[in-house]
Amino acid sequence: MLTDHFRPQSFNGIDDIVIVGGGLAGLFCALKLAPRPVTILAAAPIGHGASSAWAQGGIAAAMNTGDTFEKHVADTVAAGAGIVDEKMTRMMVAEGPARIHDLLEYGVPFDRDLEGKLLLSREAAHSERRIVRVKGDMAGKAIMEALIAAVRSTPSIRVIEGYVVEELVREGRFISGVVARPDAGQSKTRVSFPARAVVLCSGGLGHLYAVTTNPWEACGQGVGMAARAGAIIADPEFVQFHPTAINIGKDPAPLATEALRGDGAILVNSKGHRFMLDIHADGELAPRDVVSRGVFAEVKAGRGAFLDCTKAIGTHFPEMFPTVYASCMAAGIDPVTQPIPVAPAVHYHMGGVLTDGEGRTSIDGLWAAGEVTSTGVHGANRLASNSLLEAVVFAARIAENIKGTLPAPKLTEWGDNAGESDDPVTVEDSPPFKRLRGLMSECVGVVRTRESLLHAIREIAELERVNTRLRFSNIITTAKLIAVAALQRTESRGGHFRADCPTERPEWQRRTYLTLAQAERLAAEAIETEPA
């Protein structure tokens, strides 16, 4: 459908810049490009299909007395397990406070103390209190609501909702537009949107896995589309699992924010033993990959894992963490008096489309921001609440780069359709996609082995052979890139853990760069070398 914000009389069916995705990065970039004509293509109504709106923790920025950019950079580098791009990180951290003030100007009601100063909290692996939050656990929702209101009131921004972008159009060295499917991807008619600049802000890939905190729209299509167009993909093997998804059988799984542990909540098993102190000196505030493996081990051993907030939060739970409280109560759990059952769930992808400091990809005409990218600032393991910071910082830098590279709008006519296709109306509910999700969780999940990864690659090849629909091809391309990169990295580092190679190896202290052609060659070689 077209929203009320779609004003054909203002644009006459023409485009200068197309932004793919209506999450934080896409909306922020569009606002920073104003008054330049911009079209946002969103698969779902903006605010409903983006992981940004589900973010509970907040945004990390060094703004507290005693905190410094150097401390924030050091924490990010430490969490990233040796492969963080320090130059990119330093730039991101330095621009963080300015982007927080931008968000304040757009109306985001960040928490303040009695003196009116921003109220800052601490999360895992941060050495200082630097997380800017809204009502404890509602940062993502509040930020998105404010940006949506700003976008709706900006005449230069056209929002077209319910359009699933399926293909990047490449002409020679350049991306020259996109092809999208209306009616939330269910239409058989596809629409082409030529553009001088395409900004890919399509989100992450959590829904590639059976247990995830991400909405179904986050199924890796953006990475797959870019790879199929020839873009370089970086660090795809590094998938971050959130250690404390609420384990009540829901898909997606509700999240018990890390801020709970930051405020003193502890992890125990069914016997009441606080197991994280046996694993890491920082206990519950250890890096997420460490905590995820600790929780995973307890669940696999049959002891279960529970987040006990009864002493640290207690009766203050409903007002301090209303989102988590509502999820628990809906499942019959009162977190004021009862421990919350938890399990690891795919939460964030550190890898993605390789970009530089201006958000440019390896293909001319294509920029990218947000979780679909790999800027290098997260390394092998994202530091908590750096994701929203990365999204706004690089979205703003993209806007500035496009203004400098293409100083004057050059509007392009767009066609009514790009032909018809027999794609199924809903790929996401199809048996092949469900099979793929189970495969990724079982074989390319919290703990991996060479055997499990080879099995995944063989199964992916078979799924590709019998399912050739375009949208599914984008999704399974991303799965293939993750599995192949994980097979190649014969060590454990950050979010990538190999039970058969459980330690870090110095020769692997480097990032992964992979094209689809290279991944396909490596997958074929692996299958030929070790057939099932």
Q: Bridge partners of 412?
A: 15
Name the 3-class secondary structure at 174.
strand
Q: Is 288 a catalytic residue?
A: yes
Which residues are CB-neighbours of 120 under 8 A, at least 6 positions away?
Answer: 63, 64, 129, 130, 131, 132
Tokens linked to 363: 């293909």
3-state DSSP percent of the chain in helix, strand and coil, to 5: 40, 20, 45
DSSP conformational letter for 360: B
Query: Cα separations (Å) of 139 from 105, 131, 386, 487?
Result: 15, 10, 13, 36
Burial of 35 (0-12, 13-18, 19+ CB in 10 A): exposed
Q: What phi and psi, each to the nearest 5 degrees, are found at residue 211?
A: -120, 115
**Separation CA 404–CA 399 (nearest Å):** 9
The span from the CA of 71 to the CA of 138, in Å, is 26
Listing DSSP states for 100-155 in one string gives HHHHHHTT----B-TTSPBPEE--TT-SS--EE-STTT-HHHHHHHHHHHHHHT-T
Structure tokens, 386: 């750096």
Q: What angle do CA 462, 450, 447 make, to 5 degrees?
A: 100
The residues with which 354 forms a beta bridge, in sequence order, are 374
Residues 6+ apart with CB under 8 A from 184: 43, 44, 162, 164
- Backbone φ and ψ for 238, nearest 5 degrees, come out as -90, 95
Task: Measure the CA–CA gap between 103 and 61, rounded to whole angstroms.
Answer: 13
Are 284 and 365 within 8 A, CB to CB? Answer: no
Determine the Cα–Cα distance for residues 322 and 227; give it in Å rounded to an integer: 40
Cβ atoms of residues 79 and 258 within 8 Å: no
Q: Which two tokens stand for residue 128?
A: 């200082």
CA distance 403 to 230: 25
| Cβ neighbours, 10 Å, residue 86 | 15
The Cα–Cα gap between 249 and 360 comes to 40
Catalytic residue (choose from 36, 170, 288, 448): 288
345-to-336, 376, 493 alpha-carbon distances in Å: 23, 23, 18
Which positions are annotated as active-site residues?
288
